[in-house]
Chain A
């Protein structure tokens, strides 16, 4: 078991390295750097000015070296610019070159500096992630129980009317991406055209204070799309279990239907959805980006959009590190959880 986790950890780190490197390469492509220079410096810079702007800030060096610096395995650059100013990776915020650390990459805890937000990436990630965690937490709290209940109810008697009604609901929700359900929700519950105005169409105020009014719609929007998927998985797993031989055994033992579902079927039926729920996180991340944009909720997803839109290299890298970490951790949890839920593969 320990060895397994260790190996998974190794794979995880390798994946993270590969992914961040890809992001690094893509963001450091020449046209992207040019765009960065023009947004940060001056939109009407000449090609030469762009050139000097970039070389003064150390952008015009081999990608591998820059990546190494970002990681913290190579010493940070110090460049005396053509404009006379000395810039260095570790010299941000007016640190004296003499006292500056030699290495200041992610391994040293230095996530870099956001060119858009003019702040340390680490700080932004922390605050924004906190906001998104609130959203995710509520989404999970709504989505997981309701989808499991729907799935189990639908799957326990395949082909029954209850099954058909609930399956219809879940198939509709899987066909409703967040940007569609969000639009419909806002139209119905928040627009002046319909006039119900039960909820707020924007979740900006939820960043300070979450209320039923301002948070219901974003949470529902994210939850809905994932819900159908998990519910369908649960249903499939449940119907499969309900036709299993051992359920027949239980039935012919005289176990009541209620107890068949609760004692015999449920645990076996929830093994598969558990994995699915965990693997939903990357998907949820998408939903979060869309919803945060749609409802103007300045969380992690919104930050991603801002960073990507402005080629904020270090911010983007920070965002990728975090999301890769989230995705891989959930995969790990899902694997370990699967082993624990399923006695068949648990090893003494």
Chain B
């Protein structure tokens, strides 16, 4: 069995082209920036036929060259990916093989984009995202990782090897090394991105690591938002003592260096004391509280209807809440096993709780600021003059109108949570050491970084791209929501 090269036969044509395009692109961008600092911006004139005049000459060329070269670059990269999917395994090298392995993800992405663009006018803010290039790129990257995570963990189809199994002889081997006993060129015949210091497949670990992020980060962010909103809206609306106390508490948490907090909270010893369970009991109660107040405010005028709706919704939420915090083997264990819907491993719970805890004060501050601004609006005054209760005004008149900035911040905050999770992994806190999550993998890989960078680099780049995707997505959303 041969080892794979990076690009295989496809590379003989594409590699030089890529190199040339990339080099020229870099030069063109620098040149363009330099000229833009010196040359005045062009004042386009309207031509008689209605088109606009373009700047000609060398400066015009410099202004347009990066665009053409960027397109060339994109085409070449697409060439690698499509070539990999189409060509037989092994012919297109490591890049090709990875691309082939990711085929389901590509298909899912294409379907998502095609459907979304087709119906974008009917999809509200989500649809408008597809008007912004930045937003589309961000969304594409995020969905790439979401699909990858989903297919590899739930579908079990992306990873080539088990993330924990060790194959002897592949310790710290370079990308593309063939697995010793594999017989033919097929999936699993190679460690596509090499082996780590325990001879496990780096590619499979990276792919499965995405699941750890995708399953924790959005959920934790959501809880942080629930806490932040439930406390931030009244703080901003009422002001006064309540605001002073809550703001002081928020600043208190924010003044804590995050890492110190993590080191104090996310340890096995703390898990033993049950503090995370208590914190979970408090933090997870906020969504229930929020839903109760939210629905009550809306349906208070019709007690019958309110009782039914509250009964059903809050009942379900309370059950979910109780199952969430009740955990066999911890201080909180009161639900009989039959009624307990799900259990969370204590390691994950403490990570989850501390991430929510760290994020909530920032959300609180944002929500408080938005509320302060929105409470001066006339429609709030109109609600007051018809005698609405304060909670209706807060949750139905103010909150829906703060959704734009909150959605944007939600995306950014998922990215930040991803970084926090990585930090935890990097310091070996919380998650079990063999877990394939990106932070832990980077932590393990960094010890031999100057000799074997390949185990640490893929998760690092993966994390980078996911956070970048989320940031771009947030940018696109911000841009589009401001356009109204």
In A11-43, which residues have CB < 8 Å from any B CB?
11, 14-15, 18-19, 23, 26-27, 29-32, 34-35
A294 interface residue per 8 A CB criterion: yes
**What is the minimal beta-carbon distance from A72 to any residue of chain B, in angstroms?**
22
B472 interface residue per 8 A CB criterion: yes
A289 interface residue per 8 A CB criterion: yes
Contact of A180 with B464 in the complex, beta carbons under 8 Å: yes
Cα separation A26 to B262 with both chains bound (whole Å): 12
Contact of B463 with A191 in the complex, beta carbons under 8 Å: no
A112 interface residue per 8 A CB criterion: no
Q: State which size class the interface on A falls in.
A: 35 or more
Contact of B450 with A285 in the complex, beta carbons under 8 Å: no
Secondary structure at the A interface, as helix, strand, loop or mixed, is helix
Residues of A within 8 Å of B267, CB to CB, are 32
Given known pairs A162-B36, A294-B446, the reply for A175 and B264 (CB within 8 Å) is no
B-binding segment of A122-130, A207-215, A320-328: A320-328
B143 interface residue per 8 A CB criterion: no
Residues of B within 8 Å of A271, CB to CB, are none
Q: Mark A324-343, 1 if CB is under 8 A from B, else 0.
A: 10011001000000000000
Contact of B63 with A161 in the complex, beta carbons under 8 Å: yes
Residues of B within 8 Å of A289, CB to CB, are 257, 259
Contact of B260 with A323 in the complex, beta carbons under 8 Å: yes
Contact of A26 with B257 in the complex, beta carbons under 8 Å: no
B270 interface residue per 8 A CB criterion: yes
Given known pairs A286-B423, A290-B426, the reply for A32 and B269 (CB within 8 Å) is yes
Given known pairs A162-B37, A191-B453, A290-B426, the reply for A179 and B439 (CB within 8 Å) is yes
In A145-173, which residues have CB < 8 Å from any B CB?
157, 160-162, 165, 171-172
Contact of A183 with B423 in the complex, beta carbons under 8 Å: no
B415 interface residue per 8 A CB criterion: yes
**What is the minimal beta-carbon distance from A113 to any residue of chain B, in angstroms?**
20
Given known pairs A171-B471, A179-B460, A180-B464, the reply for A187 and B260 (CB within 8 Å) is no
B-binding segment of A45-53, A244-252, A304-312: A304-312
Contact of B453 with A327 in the complex, beta carbons under 8 Å: no
Given known pairs A183-B457, A191-B451, the reply for A30 and B273 (CB within 8 Å) is yes
Given known pairs A161-B66, A183-B460, the reply for A304 and B260 (CB within 8 Å) is yes
Residues of B within 8 Å of A177, CB to CB, are 419, 422-423, 463, 467
Given known pairs A186-B449, A282-B254, the reply for A161 and B33 (CB within 8 Å) is yes
Which one, A19, A30, A305, contacts B255 given CB within 8 A?
A19
A319 interface residue per 8 A CB criterion: yes
Contact of A194 with B453 in the complex, beta carbons under 8 Å: yes
**What is the minimal beta-carbon distance from B329 to any residue of chain A, in angstroms?**
15
Which one, A29, A157, A290, contacts B269 given CB within 8 A?
A29
B200 interface residue per 8 A CB criterion: no
Contact of A31 with B272 in the complex, beta carbons under 8 Å: yes
B265 interface residue per 8 A CB criterion: yes
Residues of A within 8 Å of B185, CB to CB, are none
Given known pairs A29-B270, A175-B464, A290-B426, the reply for A305 and B263 (CB within 8 Å) is yes
Contact of A319 with B260 in the complex, beta carbons under 8 Å: yes
Residues of A within 8 Å of B268, CB to CB, are 31
Contact of A172 with B265 in the complex, beta carbons under 8 Å: no
**What is the minimal beta-carbon distance from B281 to any residue of chain A, in angstroms?**
18
Cα separation A285 to B259 with both chains bound (whole Å): 9
Cα separation A162 to B36 with both chains bound (whole Å): 7
Cα separation A347 to B241 with both chains bound (whole Å): 26
A3 interface residue per 8 A CB criterion: no
Q: Mark A284-320, 1 if CB is under 8 A from B, else 0.
A: 0110011001100000010011001101000010011
Q: Mark B441-464, 1 if CB is under 8 A from A, else 0.
A: 010011001111110110011011
B303 interface residue per 8 A CB criterion: no
Cα separation A27 to B453 with both chains bound (whole Å): 37
Which one, A160, A180, A290, contacts B41 given CB within 8 A?
A160
Contact of A187 with B453 in the complex, beta carbons under 8 Å: yes
Q: Which of B251, B259, B272, B475 has the most CB of A within 10 A?
A: B259
B115 interface residue per 8 A CB criterion: no
Residues of A within 8 Å of B269, CB to CB, are 29, 31-32, 34-35, 311
Residues of B within 8 Å of A165, CB to CB, are 29, 32-33
Residues of B within 8 Å of A101, CB to CB, are none
A201 interface residue per 8 A CB criterion: yes
Given known pairs A35-B269, A176-B464, the reply for A191 and B255 (CB within 8 Å) is no
In A108-142, which residues have CB < 8 Å from any B CB?
none
Given known pairs A26-B265, A184-B460, A187-B453, the reply for A18 and B446 (CB within 8 Å) is no
**What is the minimal beta-carbon distance from B94 to any residue of chain A, in angstroms?**
15
Contact of A323 with B257 in the complex, beta carbons under 8 Å: yes
Residues of A within 8 Å of B422, CB to CB, are 177, 179-180
Residues of B within 8 Å of A162, CB to CB, are 32-33, 36-37
Q: Which of A174, A194, A319 has the most CB of B within 10 A?
A: A174
**What is the minimal beta-carbon distance from B58 to any residue of chain A, in angstroms?**
16
Q: Mark B306-347, 1 if CB is under 8 A from A, else 0.
A: 000000000000000000000000000000000000000000
Cα separation A316 to B470 with both chains bound (whole Å): 35
**What is the minimal beta-carbon distance from A243 to any residue of chain B, in angstroms?**
12
Residues of A within 8 Å of B471, CB to CB, are 171, 174-175
Cα separation A327 to B251 with both chains bound (whole Å): 10
Cα separation A191 to B445 with both chains bound (whole Å): 13
Contact of B446 with A19 in the complex, beta carbons under 8 Å: no
Cα separation A286 to B272 with both chains bound (whole Å): 26
A345 interface residue per 8 A CB criterion: no
Residues of A within 8 Å of B293, CB to CB, are none
Contact of A171 with B464 in the complex, beta carbons under 8 Å: no
Given known pairs A175-B468, A201-B449, the reply for A183 and B264 (CB within 8 Å) is no
Q: Which of A23, A187, A316 has the most CB of B within 10 A?
A: A187
A190 interface residue per 8 A CB criterion: yes
Residues of A within 8 Å of B463, CB to CB, are 177, 180
Nearest B residue to A30 via CB reads B273
Nearest A residue to B438 via CB reads A180
Nearest B residue to A197 via CB reads B450
B258 interface residue per 8 A CB criterion: yes
Which one, A14, A193, A286, contacts B454 given CB within 8 A?
A193
Residues of A within 8 Å of B426, CB to CB, are 179, 290
Q: Which of B37, B248, B450, B470 has the most CB of A within 10 A?
A: B450
Cα separation A309 to B465 with both chains bound (whole Å): 31
Cα separation A120 to B201 with both chains bound (whole Å): 47
B residues lining the A interface (CB < 8 Å):
29, 32-33, 36-37, 41, 63, 66, 248, 251-252, 254-260, 263-265, 267-270, 272-273, 275, 415, 419, 422-423, 426-427, 439, 442, 445-446, 449-454, 456-457, 460-461, 463-465, 467-468, 470-472, 475
Known: A179-B422, A286-B259. 5 other contacts (CB 8 A): A23-B260, A161-B32, A165-B32, A177-B423, A290-B426
- The 10 tightest CB contacts between A and B, nearest first, are A308-B263, A187-B453, A31-B269, A175-B468, A175-B467, A180-B460, A31-B272, A177-B419, A183-B460, A201-B450
Show 22 residue pairs from A and B whose CB-CB distance is below 8 angstroms, ordered by the A residue. A15-B248, A19-B256, A23-B264, A27-B264, A29-B275, A31-B269, A34-B269, A157-B41, A161-B33, A165-B29, A177-B419, A177-B467, A180-B463, A183-B446, A191-B450, A191-B453, A193-B451, A193-B454, A282-B257, A290-B259, A308-B264, A327-B255
